[in-house]
Amino acid sequence: RVRSPCVGKLTAVDSFDTTVFVPLEHVVSISTDNKRLRVLSVDGTYWLKGSLKEMERILGQNMFLRISRYEIINLSKVRRFDFTLSGVLRIELEQGVETWASRRFVPVIRQRLQGQRL
């Protein structure tokens, strides 16, 4: 179960199974990895149990965006969106991370970004 002890933080574990509180503003992306959620933050990588659907409910839609069945990104950590002619979307995040949106999500992402200044 995904828990948030207070508004603005996630309760996760590090590679030593130590509980840590990750501020939402430090989260770069959250993705599925072998039935766990991997939280990539500016401070390191952490792990959560739960589903991306649960994370969407907890995070809300102001700061975070689902880009595929397997990943949610923090919009404030996006350096650049590259929409290609073939309709594929490449996303460059902070920390030198590059990810790709699935084609199915591109129309939703375009619509969301049209109404938002980044």
CA angle 107–60–47, rounded 5-degree value: 100
Lowest mean pLDDT, pick from 58-62, 86-90, 113-117? 113-117
Q: Which two tokens stand for residue 9?
A: 């933080």
* CA–CA distances in Å: residue 47 to residues 38, 69, 90, 104: 5, 18, 25, 26
Q: How much is the pTM?
A: 0.85
Instruction: For residue 20, list its beta bridge partners.
Output: 12
Mean pLDDT score, 35-40: 94
pLDDT, position 77: 95
* pLDDT computed for residue 4 by the predictor: 45
